[in-house]
Amino acid sequence: MDWGMANRLAQLIQSNGRCVFMPIDHGYFQGPTTRLENPWRTLEPLLPYSDAVFVTRGVLRSSIDPVASKPIVLRMSGGTSMVGGDLANEGITTSMEEAIRLNASAVGISVFIGSDYERQTLLNLSTLVNEGEKYGIPVMAVTAVGREMEKRDARYLALCSRICAELGAKVVKTYWCEDFEKVVEGCPVPVIMAGGPRVDTELEVLQFVSDGMIRGAIGVNLGRNIWQNDNPVPLIRAIRQIVHEDVSAEDAHDFFETLKSNQT
Ligand code: 5RP
């Protein structure tokens, strides 16, 4: 791997091989999502506990302090919305030159495998990989499911993750699922877990993060389950304990409760 590519990946994936990314890109198809109405207000307290931020160029320029920031994964796909025809019908929304101008450490793009737009979104990924290789910029592929959350099983997610790796993604972000090791084992590049819509309790979040880490994920890219929680800072700190310190879900939950009760 060339020096620039390796250096950018090292900014994202920490020296222990693990990472906690903070996605605040949801507005690109959901608009002002609950608790992300003002992105900077949501992000600022979480920034010290995030290894990188996943964001669109619009929110990056308008809402993120270029001085007090973290490595950026720039979202480069979009063009659809929650109220439009099909979330899968995405294109590439900006250029690699723009990613360089914004000093992005990586770029991210969604693919919708099994949808009517499978070919288009996989070719979007390939185009981005071709561009990224020219400039030493890693591509993170996002295995998106649109509204069809029931698609999240090991067989489907393993297929998606492997295809993304075959097309040249340096990292794959996919959903946690039962038998997550099947996803990781079939994917020759590092796998990161997304969260999806909020689950009911903090313990459930900590349990699926812990399970995925034990089964081979290198980290998380967890948004709504953190910043839609009433105690996002204690929760991200507890998640970091699992990802970076191999703490169990139960011990991380105790840590969360302690931090929560100590908040002023
Ligand atoms: C949205 C995304 C998000 O980055 C991803 O879904 C992670 O966020 P969450 O944990 O809220 O699902 O790709 O398009």
Q: Please report, for the chain, the start and end positions of each structural domain, with discontinuous segments joined by +.
A: 3-262
**Residue 147 confidence (pLDDT):** 67
**Catalytically active residues, by annotation:** 173
**Residue 149 confidence (pLDDT):** 67
Over residues 140-163, mean pLDDT? 89
Give the CATH architecture of domain 3-262.
Alpha-Beta Barrel (3.20)
Which amino acid is located at 88 in the chain?
A
Q: Whose CA is nearest to atom 1 of ligand 1?
A: 26
**Residue 70 confidence (pLDDT):** 95
Percent of the chain topping pLDDT 90 = 92
- Report which ligand 1 atom has the smallest distance to the Cα of 221: 7
212 Cβ closer than 6 Å to some ligand 1 atom: no
26 Cβ closer than 6 Å to some ligand 1 atom: yes
25 Cβ closer than 6 Å to some ligand 1 atom: yes
190 Cβ closer than 6 Å to some ligand 1 atom: no
Q: With bands split at pLDDT 50, 70 and 90, how would you rate the model's confidence at 198?
A: confident
Percent of the chain topping pLDDT 70 = 98
Cα of 153 to ligand 1 centre, how many Å? 17
Q: Whose CA is nearest to atom 13 of ligand 1?
A: 142
pLDDT at residue 264 tops 70: no
From the number of C-beta atoms within 10 Å of its C-beta (0-12, 13-18, 19+), residue 47 rates as: middle
Q: Who contacts 113 (Cβ-Cβ below 8 Å, separation ≥6)? A: 121, 122, 143, 156, 159, 160, 163
pTM given for the model? 0.96
Q: Terminal CA-to-CA distance of the chain, rounded, Å?
A: 47
Over residues 208-223, mean pLDDT? 97
Tens-place pLDDT, residues 27-38: 999 999 999 999
Least confident of 26-40, 139-153, 206-220: 139-153
